[in-house]
Amino acid sequence: MASILTNLFDGVAYGMLLFVLACGLAVTLGLMNFVNLAHGAFAMAGGYICAVLVNQSGWPFFAALPLAFVGSAVIGIALERTLYRHLYSRSHLDQVLFSIGLVFMSVAAVDYIMGSSRVFIKLPAALEGQIDLFGVGIGRYRLMIVAICGLLTLALQLILAKTRFGSRLRAAVDDPRAAIGLGINVPQVFAFTFAFGCGLAGLGGALSAEILGLDPYFPLKFMIYFLIVVTVGGSSSITGPFLASLLLGIADVAGKYYVPKVGPFVIYTVMIVILLWRPNGLFGRTAAR
Amino acid sequence: MTALSDVSTHAMASARWRISEVAFWVLALACAFLFPSRYLIMTDIVRLGLFAVSLDLILGYAGIVSLGHAAFFGVGAYSAGLLALHGIINEPVIALVVAGLVAAVLGFLTSFLVIRGVDLTRLMVTLGIALLLEALAERFSDITGGTDGLQGIEMQPILGRFAFDMFGKTGLFYSLIVLFILFLLARRVVHSPFGLSLRAIRNNPLRAAAIGIPVNRRLIAVYTLAAFYAGIAGALFTQTTALASLDVFSFERSADLMLVLVIGGTGYLYGGLIGAVVFKMLQELFQSITPQYWLFWIGLVLVMIVMVGRARIHRWVLFVPNLIIRQCAGRKAAVTVPEGDAP
Amino acid sequence: MTIALETRGLEKSFGGLRVTRDLSLKVVQGARHALIGPNGAGKTTVINQLTGVLTPNGGRILLEGYDITGLSVHKRVLRGLSRTFQINQLYADLTPLETIGLAVSERMGRGGDWWRRMGTRNDVNAEISEILSRFHLLDVMTELTSTLPYGKQRLLEIAVAIAARPRVLLLDEPAAGVPESERHDILAAVAALPREVTVLLIEHDMDLVFSFADRISVLVNGGLLTEGAPDEVARDPQVRAVYLGETTDV
């Protein structure tokens, strides 16, 4: 029983991490119908920024996390302004080719600069080990992830629901053309959202180094996870991707723990079953129209 | 009735062989005779070209963007490898066809997932299926040899007469003949009413259905056919190299394939073949500069192609061949790339 | 009188918005029936349900007494229900020859032929050539559709629909956007449609409606306001209020 709860908790932590990694992608996809397969590259950037700051410059882990966010966001906005924005009106094939190209370049570049082996970020002692909660073993690090990601999710929900920017963003996702008609500067909203999404991915990348592993092939390995989150979750709200992330995280952890022989296939099976059942994703409208 | 004969002449016009096409194949055959020291890389190009023709059938004609076309290549490769390794079918040509059919069955089964939904869903499904197969091949290592791949494949002579030689001469001509036959078939298919209906579906599925075209059935058919082609390409890979390892399923293979096709251009079949030649030359060039960072250059080429614009790139790629053709055969004979593959 | 096309209690909502309300419509065989209504009345939604692009939330659609509510788009075409599009949806990079060829091949069940080159079946060719000449498209049959004058494109639009040999034809604003000089050809083509083809015309242009239709249904807010012969509808005070009043000042 206790181990079930421990695994459930691990799955939740994993799922929330996936959500932070992928939610920026869901929003940009809904907003511009832009298929950005390079999203994982921004997560990797955040991870490496954090690793360099902590391991080489001796920064405390919690001070490096915001820098991972900012660093990835800056890279994101720079690429958005120089390259991405020319491709919004192009075909999905062009967007796919372009973003795969970026992924390949980032993989090779990181491999060249940082080496190809897995990187570990030195964690503060307070985050190591487990605590015992009513007989259930809970990893401290995972508890922190659930706390941070949970707070982020709440904050995102509030921003979307309560702020002026949030309402503009929702209007733009709903119907970009109508939003332009209402005087909303959609490209600006998009650029900001893109940068913010990259920042979140960067933060997710830094947090995930311990759990998912950080190496130059990160963007390729997790591309399928991001795609599942956005296709299953849809992009009309952030609730869809959130639930999809949790489902994916729990299914993946449970699969690898309880049926280790076929563990890697659990998520693909889940994906296929969901698609057979609801070809347009679990939650509402599909991402790409 | 002149209008009637007009209609039939014009309807058949697009399928007529052009001088440039004949020139292309004569040139290909000439290369096979002219460069005996380059058999291996030319075999590589032929295989890749066939694989790219397969992707062109679904991407260029039917508009299905796939991130996991290597799935069928891999299934073909392992099928051919296992057939030869266990002596189930010793004759390479029959084994080749069987391997292609195995891939086609997989293509048929997975097509029901692929044709549902939008581009994004298709990306996920195609990528997922290739990853799933890669994981399966790793998991069942007692059959597939796991990360080591299939070891000790020995190929029997083709048709019992032509043995594979160490220089790769038999392999090249074998591959070239297979490519030519399958190309003829593909050419016939794309110039048939079926092929025309695929173009209609790619341009506007809704309108195609309103004309009476059974959209899903056509997509399933072409996806299955493309899987067959990819399976044959994979089987050729195993038969000519006596190797089959996990990387036949890899994402990089699928992505490289897209690059090959977009270099040459989609939707006119020759794009895959021209792209394969250019791609291999680029690979040779970049690998002589920085062998281990080849991935970076592929990425850069992909980004550049998209930023510059695919249509423009194709005009450049075809500039020299067209110049020569125009000199010899006049303006009409030039190869053109169909424009307008809108989303 | 045989009913060619009928809807019974058709219902469609998007979110909370009811766009089609309890719509029951009967189109008599051989009729020239017009469906009119102000902008936003839900005419396009009705067409999309009739052709199978949208699935209604309730109600039934019958084609010659046969329930087609659950049928897919292309199967309805093969059963004899064809349509034209209001906004140009033709294949820009195909020629009229190829476009008509597609429709004729599908109707003859030869559209899936993958082993045969196009243009090798004389029965298909004969019909293509007949349709092209009927719609004055023979001279431009090898030009790309995107390069044709707009009037020719509208003719091609009707020709494609006719190539499927429909028994019921839905014409969605056939003359919309056509310059005055080319209008006559379109109207002539519409008027020359064979009598055995039942036509449901969805139209804004009142001149066209009153010159063409022998029966008119008025759609307002997704529901049927009234129905009758043209002169009855023209006299109906309700219609004048919601609809004709609007168009007089256009």
CATH number for position C22: 3.40.50.300
- Which distant-in-sequence residues (6+ apart) come within 8 Å of C113 by Cβ? B192, B193, B194, C105
- Identify which of A16, A83, A59 has the alpha carbon closest to the alpha carbon of residue A246: A16
Give the number of B-C residue pairs with CB atoms closer than 8 Å: 147
State the total domains in chain B: 1
Tell whether B79 is covered by a domain.
yes
pLDDT tens over chain A, length 289 residues = 678 888 888 899 999 999 999 988 888 887 778 889 999 999 999 999 999 999 999 999 999 999 999 999 999 999 999 999 899 888 999 999 999 999 999 999 999 999 989 999 888 888 888 887 777 778 889 999 999 999 998 998 898 888 888 888 888 877 777 788 888 888 888 888 899 999 999 999 999 998 888 999 999 999 999 998 988 887 777 888 999 999 999 998 888 888 887 777 888 888 878 877 777 777 655 333 3
Residue carrying structure tokens 């921004």? A42
Please write the tens of the pLDDT for every residue from B38-75.
Answer: 899 999 999 999 999 999 999 999 999 999 999 999 99
Below-70 pLDDT ranges, chain B: 1, 321, 324-343
Backbone angles phi, psi at B152, to 5 degrees: 75, 35
CB nearest to B211's CB, from C77, C92, C93: C77
Q: What is the pLDDT of residues C99-145, one digit of tens each?
A: 999 999 999 989 889 988 888 888 999 999 999 999 999 999 999 99
Which among C114, C119, C126 is the nearest to B194, CB-wise? C114
pLDDT in tens, A184-213: 888 888 888 899 999 999 999 999 998 888
Q: Strand C58-63 and strand C3-14: pairing?
A: antiparallel
Range(s) of the domain holding residue B312: 35-333
Within-domain flag for B131 = yes
Question: What is the model's pTM?
Answer: 0.91
In a domain, C106, yes or no: no
Domain contains B19: no
CB contact under 8 A, B65 and A276: no
Provide the residue range defining the domain that includes C27. 3-89+165-248
B290 Cβ under 8 Å from any chain C Cβ: no
CA nearest B221 in C: which residue? Answer: C112
**Cβ separation C111–B213 shorter than 8 A:** yes
The CA distance from B106 to C123, in Å, is 37
Q: Measuring CA to CA, which residue among B58, B81, B61 is closest to residue B227?
A: B58
Contact present, A and B (at least 3 Cβ pairs less than 8 Å)? yes
Would C155 be classed as within a structural domain?
Answer: no
C140 within some domain = no
Chain C positions in Cβ-Cβ contact with residue B268 (cut-off 8 Å):
none
Tell me if chain B has a CB within 8 Å of the CB of C198: no
**pLDDT at position C66, please?**
93
Residue A43 CB contacts under 8 Å (≥ 6 apart), including other chains: A21, A72, A201, A202, A204, A205, A208, A218, A219, A222
Q: Taking CB atoms and an 8 Å cutoff, what residues of chain C touch B211?
A: 74, 77, 102-103, 106, 160, 164
d(CA C80, nearest CA chain B) in Å: 10
Alpha-carbon span B84 to B80, nearest angstrom: 6
C-alpha triplet B262, B268, B273: angle, nearest 5°: 60
CA-based nearest residue in chain B for residue A35: B120
Q: HSE of C188 in the Cβ direction (CA atoms, 13 Å)?
A: 10
pLDDT (tens digit, 9 = 90+) per residue, B132-148? 999 899 888 888 888 88
Q: What is the pLDDT of residue A215?
A: 93
Rounded (10°) angle between helices B251-264 and B70-85:
120
B112 domain-assigned:
yes
Asked if the Cβ–Cβ distance from B207 to C138 is below 8 Å, we say no
Residue whose tokens read 């991707």 = A241
Q: HSE-up of B218 (CA within 13 Å, CB side)? A: 33
Question: Which tokens go with B162?
Answer: 């032509």
Token digits of residue C128: 């293509």
Residues in B closer than 8 angstroms to C123, CB to CB, are none
Q: Domain of B158: which CATH number?
A: 1.10.3470
Is residue B135 assigned to a domain? yes
Strand boundaries in chain A, DSSP class E: 130-133, 136-139
The total number of structural domains in chain C stands at: 1
